[in-house]
């Protein structure tokens, strides 16, 4: 299983990457594997300012539904429009084309405080 070193991770199995104060968020390789075939990503929080660990959307696999939790406080600015037609990108490319939202983060230093790839690998290993 792949957990890129340049990303930060949460215990809820989201990843986040930060450029300036804009973060990209998705779910981890472990999460997509546990969920199985993803058939729908339902996010309608664009424009919302949310707290850390707030639900920003829902991911649906064939058999299961799982909430998506925001890793850090921020405002959702964009949803990955590719997922509308190809939700399976979350399975095939969770850190690339399967990203879920862009977020303007409230405090960029919150991101650095999240888990490293080694810590996350230890958590799910």
Partner 1 sequence: MKNTPFTDKHIALGAKMAEFAGYNMPISYSGINDEHATVRKNAGVFDVSHMGEFMVKGEHALELIQRVTSNDASKLVAGQAQYSCLPNEQGGIVDDLIVYCIEPGKTYMLVVNASNIEKDWKWISDRNTNGAEMHNISDKTCLLAIQGPNATKILQPLADTDIMNLKYYTFTKGKFAGVDNVLISATGYTGAGGVEIYFEDKDGAAAQIWDAIFEAGGPQGLKPIGLGARDTLRLEMGYCLYGNDIDDTTSPLEGGLGWITKFTKDFTAKDILQAQKAEGVKRRLVGFEMIERGIPRHDYLIKDASGNVIGKVTSGTQAPSLGKAIGLGYVSIEHAAADSEIFIDIRNTPVKAKVVKLPFA
Residues that bind partner 1 (CB under 8 A): 36-37, 39-40, 42, 58, 60-63, 65
DSSP-assigned states of every residue in 90-113: HHH-TTTTT--EEEEES-THHHHT
For residues 70 and 110, is the Cβ–Cβ distance under 8 A? no
Q: Can you tell me the distance from the alpha carbon of 1 to that of 79, in angstroms, rounded to the nearest whole number?
A: 25
Question: Looking at beta carbons only, is 22 or 54 nearer to partner 1?
Answer: 54
Question: Looking at beta carbons only, is 70 or 114 nearer to partner 1?
Answer: 70
Question: Looking at beta carbons only, is 55 or 112 nearer to partner 1?
Answer: 55
Question: Looking at beta carbons only, is 65 or 119 nearer to partner 1?
Answer: 65
Q: How far is the CB of 42 from partner 1 (least distance, A)?
A: 7
Q: How far is the CB of 62 from partner 1 (least distance, A)?
A: 4
Q: Can you tell me the distance from the alpha carbon of 99 to that of 36, in angstroms, rounded to the nearest whole number?
A: 16
Q: Secondary structure of the chain: what % helix, strand, coil (to 5)?
A: 20, 35, 40
Q: How far is the CB of 54 from partner 1 (least distance, A)?
A: 14
Backbone angles phi, psi at 57, to 5 degrees: 175, -170
Q: How far is the CB of 53 from partner 1 (least distance, A)?
A: 18
């Amino acid at each position: 299983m792949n957990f890129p070193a340049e990303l930060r991770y949460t215990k809820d199995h989201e990843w986040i990457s930060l450029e300036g104060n804009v973060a990209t968020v998705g779910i981890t390789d472990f999460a997509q594997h546990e969920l199985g075939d993803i058939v729908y990503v339902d996010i309608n929080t664009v424009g919302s300012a949310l707290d850390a660990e707030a639900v920003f959307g829902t991911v649906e696999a064939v058999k299961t539904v799982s909430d998506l939790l925001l890793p850090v406080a921020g405002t959702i600015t964009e949803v990955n429009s590719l997922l509308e037609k190809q939700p399976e990108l979350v399975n095939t490319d969770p850190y690339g084309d399967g990203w879920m939202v862009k977020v303007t983060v409230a405090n960029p230093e919150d991101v650095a405080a999240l888990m490293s790839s080694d810590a996350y690998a230890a958590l799910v290993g």
